[in-house]
Structure 1
Amino acid sequence: MAGGSGNDEDYATSPVPFYGRGSWTTPFFAALGMATALIYMQLASVVTLQYGLVTAVLTVAYSTAASCGVAMVIACAAIRTGFGINLMARAVLGARGSVLFSLLFGFTTLVYFAVEANIMGAAIGEMTGGLALTFILPAVAIGMIPLVWFGMRFLGKFQAMTLIVYVVLLGAALVLSLKGAAPSAAGVAAMGASPLSLIGAIGIMNGLVFVTALVTADFARFVRQDIVKAGTVWMGGVFQLVAFGVSGVMGIWFALRYQVANPGVYLVTALGGGGALLALATQLRINLANMYLGSIAFTNAVEEMTPLRPPRHLMVVIFGVVAALVLLLHATHMIEAALNVIGLFSLCFTVLILVDILVVRREKWRNAGDSAFTQFAAWRWPAILSLLISSLLGNMTLWGTFGPSIVPAASIIAGVLQAALYVALSHRVPTRSNVTAV
C-alpha cells in the first residue's frame, strides 16, 4: 500500500490510486481492531438482561444481517472509487456540505477515544498497583501516536498480532465460564420476544450497526479493484459477522452465565488479572482505529474549511494531544451527552449513502471505476436538507417530543424518513454547480 514515493501514504483527502492498493488482508486485520471492541459484547449483554434471551438472539441476528448488507454496499463502492467515508460525504453532500459530517465524525471518534481510554487507564491502574490516572491517561493518548503514525500497513500488522492475544484470552474466559453451575437463566431465557421489546432492542443496536458499516469504507478503499468481490465479502461481510455475530453470541452467553452486562466485570470474574489484560488489549485495538479514523476526518474538514492542506501525520499528533487534554481535565462526561445526537446523525447519513448508491445515482456509482466522479458539487441541497430534517425529527422522537411510546422506534423512524425525503427532494431541489475536482 505504499504510495508512489515509497511512503505509507494514507490518502486522507484523495482517492486511493491503483498503486496504493493491495490485498484485502491488511485492511481487514486493521478493521478487526474495531470488531473485537468490548462494546459489541456489552450491548448484546444489555439486551439479554433487559429484554430476554429470545429478543437478544433475534436482535443479534438482525444486527449481523443488517450490518453485513449495508457494509457490503459501502465496501463495494469504496473499492470501486478508492473513496474513504469522508470522500463519500463530499460526493453525496457536496464539498462544502461534507464539512459538517467530517467534523461530527471526527468529534465522535474523539469522544469514543476518551471514553475507552478511561477504561484502559483503569485497567493499567489495577495492573500497576494504583498508579495515578493523572499520569496514566495522558500517557495512553500520547503513546498511541507512534502506532498510528505509519498508517494502514503498520496498523494492520499490529492488529493482526494483538488478535492472537484477544482470541487466546477470550477462549480461556469461555472455557472457564463453562465450568461450575449451568447459567442461571430463570427470568431471562423465559422472557419471550414481543414486537415492542424487539423494537427497543433494535433501537439500542442500530446506532452501532450503522456507524460500524459506515467506517468500513476507510478500510475497504485500500483493496484492489480486481478483487472487488473478495474485498466486499471480507470487508463488508466477515468484518461485520465478527463484530455483531461472534461478539453478540459471546455477550449473550456471558450475560446468562454471570448475570451482569459489563464485560469488564464478567471477564475479570472469569480470568482474574487475565481479564484486565484482555480489556486492555481490546480497548487498545479499538482506540488505534478511533485515532486513525479521527485524524482522517479532521484532515478533510480542515482542508475544506481553510486554504491549508495539513498532512494526516500532523492531525494524528493534534488528535493525541487534544485527547490527552480531555482526559487530563476529566472533560469526557461533558461531551458524552452528544453521542446520541451524533449516533442518529450517523444512522441517517448511512441511509443517505445507501439510497444514493442504490437508487438516486445508481448508474454513476456503478460506473465509478471509470472515473464517474471527476468533480464534487459545492453543495448538494437534496442530501443536506434531507439529512438535517431527518436527524432533527429523529432526535426529537428520541427525546420524547412526540410521546414516550415511540421513543424506542426513533432510529427506525429517522432512517425511513431520511430515505423518503432524499428520494423526493432529489427531483425538486437543484444542486449547486460542480466546482471542486476530485
Structure 2
Amino acid sequence: MVVDPPREGTSRDQAVRETLEDYTLRFAPRSYRRWKPGVVATTALGGIAYLADFSIGAGIGLSYGTVNALLGILLAAVIIFATGAPLAYYGARYNIDLDLITRGAGFGYYGSVLTSVIFGSFTFIFFATEGAIMAQGLHVGFGVPLWLGYLITTLVVVPLVVHGMKTLSALQVWTTPLWLLLMVGPIGYLVVVDPVSVSRWLAFTGEAGGGVSAASVVLGAGVALSLMAQIGEQIDYLRFMPPRTAANKRSWWLSTLVAGPGWVVFGAVKQATGAFLAFFIMGAAGAAATEPVQQFTGIYELFAPWWLAVPLAVVLVVLSQVKINVTNAYSGSLTWTNSFTRVTKRYPGRITFVLANLAVALVLMEANMFAFLNSVLSFYANCAIAWVCTVAADIVINKFVLRRSPVEPEFRRGMLHAVNPVGVTAFLASAILSIAMYFGTFGDAVQPFSPIAAVLIAVVLTPVMAVVTRGRYYLRRTDDGIAEPRFDADGTPAATAHTCDYCLQDFERPDVLASAEPGKVICSLCVSTDRTGELVLPAT
C-alpha cells in the first residue's frame, strides 16, 4: 500500500493549506462554506465580466447580419440555460464541481477524464482569448508591445488565484460596481444620444447580405454555443453554496439559477451589444471593430476627449480581464489537477497546474489565437456541447425520469466503475459525428447544423444507452462501508466529521468511505492516490 504521507502541522498550517488547495478533487465541506447565497452568486457572476462576448457577438453580427445574429444568440442562450440548470442545481445542492458530477452522471471514475480534458482546454483557450483582449488594451492605452502585454496579463493573475475562493470572492464582490458603471454607462449614453443607430443596426444584413437564413442563424448559434462549458466555471463557485434551508430557500434558488445557467442571459446581452458596437464603429475601426478596446474607445469618445476616453476603455478592459482570468486560471488548475491525480495516483498540488495552465495560455496568445477566434470556437463548440448535454440528459432523464442512474451523486474511487458506457458512448458519438458534420463529411447542406446535431445526439443517445445497459455501470458498489448515511432526510450532505486513518485529517461524511483494511476510514483524496489499489473496496 502506497499513499501520500500524513499531513502534519498546526491548525493554522492546515487552514493555510485548505485555502491554497480549495478542496481540489473533493466535496466542499459545510465547515468551509460560510458564505451567504448572494455572496456566492456575486462571486460566480464576477467571472462573466469577460469581453470575449463582445468579440463573439461582433464577429457573428458582421458576418451574418443583425437579425440572424440575434436569433442565433437567442437560440444558443436557450440551449445553454436548459442544459446548465440541472448541472448548477447538482453543484450547489451537493457541493461538488462539474467533474465530480460527471463521474457519477454516466462517465465513471476514469471515463470523466475525457471531459476534464475538454474543460481544461476551455479554460486555457478562454484565458488566451481574454488575455489577448487585455494586451490589446495595454497596447492602445500605453503602447505596450503585444508580446509583453501577453506576458503581463498572464503573470498578474498568479498572486490572486493561488489563494482560491476567499481571495476570489473579495475580488469579484468589490470590483463589480465599478465594472458595471464602466460597462453600462457609455452604452446607455449612446442609445440615448443616437437612438437612430439602433434602427440602422437592426437593418444591417452583414457581409453575406440577404434576409433571415436558418443556416446563418445556426452558424451564429454554433459560435455562441462554444461558451457552454462556462457552466463548469460557474459551478466551481456554486459548490460553496450553503445548505438549502427553509429560511434561505428563496435566496438559495435565486442565487443558484442566476449565477448558474443565468450567466448566459448576461452573456447573450453582451454578445448582442458587441454586435451593435461593432456596427457603430465599423467605418472608423475597420477590421478592428471586433476588438472590445476599440469598441469602447469609440463609445467613450462620444462624450469624453481622447486623452480620457482611452484610459477609461483600458481600465474597463483590464478590470474585466482580470476578473475572468482569475476564474479561468482557478478552474483550469482544478480540472487539470483532478485528471492528473486520477491517472497517475499522485497529487502535485493545485498550484503546479495554475502555472502549467497559464504557460499553455501564454503560448496560445503569442501564437495570435485571437485572430482565429470564431474558427476555434466553432470547432470547440461541438465537444463542449456533447459533454454538457450528455451530463444534463443523464441528470434529468436517467436520474429523474427513467430512474436508471442514482439520484444521489457519487464520485469516490471504488464506488464507481472505471468507465460507464452510457455517458462515454453518448459523448463520443455526439462529438465525433457533429465534428464530422462541421467539416462537411455529410455534405454542405447540413454542415451549419453540427451544433444542433451535437445537442440532439447527446440528449437522445444518453437515455438509450441507460436503457440498453440497464444502468449496471453506474455503481461498482452500493455500500461504502460506513453505517451513517451520506445525506440526511432532506437530501442535504451530512456534516458529521470522520477522521481519515491515512492523512489523519477530519472530513465530512460525503468525502469518506471504508478502507479495504478492516476497521479503517479513508478520505477521497487518499484513496485517489493509493497507487497499489490495496485500499480500494472490492466490487459487490
Deviations, residues 313-350 of structure 1 (Å, cap 9, x unaligned)? 332233334544555x6475899776544321110111
1:99 lines up with 2:123 in the alignment: no
- In structure 2, the partner of 1:293 is 331
1:206 lines up with 2:220 in the alignment: no
Measured at CA, do residues 3 and 23 of structure 1 come closer, stay the same or move farther in structure 2, by a change above 3 Å?
farther
Question: Which aligned pairs between 1:231-380 and structure 2 lie closer than 5 A?
Answer: 231-244=255-268, 246-259=269-282, 260-271=289-300, 272-273=309-310, 274-324=312-362, 327=365, 330=367, 332=369, 339-362=377-400, 367-368=407-408, 375-380=415-420
Given residue 167 of structure 1, which amino acid in structure 2 is its aligned partner? Answer: L
Distance 2:149 2:50 in 1: 21
Structure 2: which 5+ runs fail to align?
1-11, 206-210, 283-288, 301-308, 481-512, 514-523, 525-540
Pick from 439, 442, 445 the counterpart of residue 402 of structure 1: 442
Given residue 206 of structure 1, which amino acid in structure 2 is its aligned partner? Answer: L
Measured at CA, do residues 90 and 404 of structure 1 come closer, stay the same or move farther in structure 2, by a change above 3 Å?
same
Given residue 235 of structure 1, which amino acid in structure 2 is its aligned partner? Answer: A
Distance 2:56 2:328 in 1: 19
Measured at CA, do residues 64 and 325 of structure 1 come closer, stay the same or move farther in structure 2, by a change above 3 Å?
closer
SS class of match (1:87): helix
Measured at CA, do residues 27 and 4 of structure 1 come closer, stay the same or move farther in structure 2, by a change above 3 Å?
farther
Measured at CA, do residues 163 and 188 of structure 1 come closer, stay the same or move farther in structure 2, by a change above 3 Å?
same
Given residue 161 of structure 2, which amino acid in structure 1 is its aligned partner? Answer: V
Pick from 50, 59, 64 the counterpart of residue 51 of structure 1: 64
Q: Please, what TM-score do these two structures have when normalized by structure 2?
A: 0.72
- In structure 2, the partner of 1:382 is 422
1:87 lines up with 2:100 in the alignment: yes
Distance 2:182 2:201 in 1: 30
1:76 lines up with 2:89 in the alignment: yes
Measured at CA, do residues 45 and 185 of structure 1 come closer, stay the same or move farther in structure 2, by a change above 3 Å?
farther
Question: Which aligned pairs between 1:129-278 and structure 2 lie closer than 5 A?
Answer: 130-178=143-191, 179=193, 182-183=196-197, 185-186=199-200, 188-189=202-203, 192-208=211-227, 210-226=228-244, 227=249, 228-244=252-268, 246-259=269-282, 260-271=289-300, 272-273=309-310, 274-278=312-316
- In structure 2, the partner of 1:431 is 473
Distance 2:353 2:129 in 1: 20
- Contact kept, 8 Å, 2:119 with 2:229, in 1: the verdict is no
SS class of match (1:225): coil
Measured at CA, do residues 294 and 187 of structure 1 come closer, stay the same or move farther in structure 2, by a change above 3 Å?
closer
- In structure 2, the partner of 1:14 is 26
Given residue 447 of structure 2, which amino acid in structure 1 is its aligned partner? Answer: V
Distance 1:372 1:397 in 2: 34
Distance 1:169 1:151 in 2: 26
1:109, CA displacement in angstroms?
A: 1.2
- Contact kept, 8 Å, 1:387 with 1:418, in 2: the verdict is yes
Distance 2:115 2:259 in 1: 22
Measured at CA, do residues 355 and 177 of structure 1 come closer, stay the same or move farther in structure 2, by a change above 3 Å?
same
Measured at CA, do residues 372 and 261 of structure 1 come closer, stay the same or move farther in structure 2, by a change above 3 Å?
closer
Deviations, residues 58-116 of structure 1 (Å, cap 9, x unaligned)? 33433443333322221111122211011122223111111122123212211221232
Distance 2:55 2:130 in 1: 13
Distance 2:347 2:321 in 1: 31
1:242, CA displacement in angstroms?
A: 1.9
SS class of match (2:445): helix
| Of 231-240 and 329-338, the range deviating more from structure 2 | 329-338
Structure 1: which 5+ runs fail to align?
none
Measured at CA, do residues 365 and 12 of structure 1 come closer, stay the same or move farther in structure 2, by a change above 3 Å?
farther
Measured at CA, do residues 187 and 330 of structure 1 come closer, stay the same or move farther in structure 2, by a change above 3 Å?
closer
Measured at CA, do residues 3 and 300 of structure 1 come closer, stay the same or move farther in structure 2, by a change above 3 Å?
farther
- Contact kept, 8 Å, 1:382 with 1:425, in 2: the verdict is yes
SS class of match (2:231): helix
Distance 1:61 1:103 in 2: 28
Distance 2:55 2:148 in 1: 28
Measured at CA, do residues 335 and 106 of structure 1 come closer, stay the same or move farther in structure 2, by a change above 3 Å?
farther
Distance 2:256 2:200 in 1: 41
Q: CA RMSD in A?
A: 3.1
- Contact kept, 8 Å, 2:65 with 2:204, in 1: the verdict is yes
Measured at CA, do residues 317 and 203 of structure 1 come closer, stay the same or move farther in structure 2, by a change above 3 Å?
closer
Distance 2:378 2:195 in 1: 39
Measured at CA, do residues 364 and 218 of structure 1 come closer, stay the same or move farther in structure 2, by a change above 3 Å?
farther
Distance 1:335 1:305 in 2: 32
Q: Percent identity?
A: 21
SS class of match (1:127): helix
Measured at CA, do residues 303 and 424 of structure 1 come closer, stay the same or move farther in structure 2, by a change above 3 Å?
same
- Structure with a larger share of its residues in helix: 1
Given residue 263 of structure 1, which amino acid in structure 2 is its aligned partner? Answer: P
Distance 1:393 1:216 in 2: 28
Distance 2:14 2:238 in 1: 20
Given residue 140 of structure 1, which amino acid in structure 2 is its aligned partner? Answer: T
- Contact kept, 8 Å, 1:73 with 1:236, in 2: the verdict is no
Counting matched residue pairs gives 431
Structure number with larger C-alpha Rg: 2
Measured at CA, do residues 252 and 338 of structure 1 come closer, stay the same or move farther in structure 2, by a change above 3 Å?
closer
1:415 lines up with 2:455 in the alignment: yes
Given residue 312 of structure 1, which amino acid in structure 2 is its aligned partner? Answer: R
Given residue 431 of structure 1, which amino acid in structure 2 is its aligned partner? Answer: Y
SS class of match (1:309): coil
Question: Which aligned pairs between 1:94-133 and structure 2 lie closer than 5 A?
Answer: 94-128=108-142, 130-133=143-146
SS class of match (1:164): helix
SS class of match (1:251): helix
SS class of match (2:416): strand
SS class of match (1:376): coil
Distance 2:297 2:290 in 1: 13
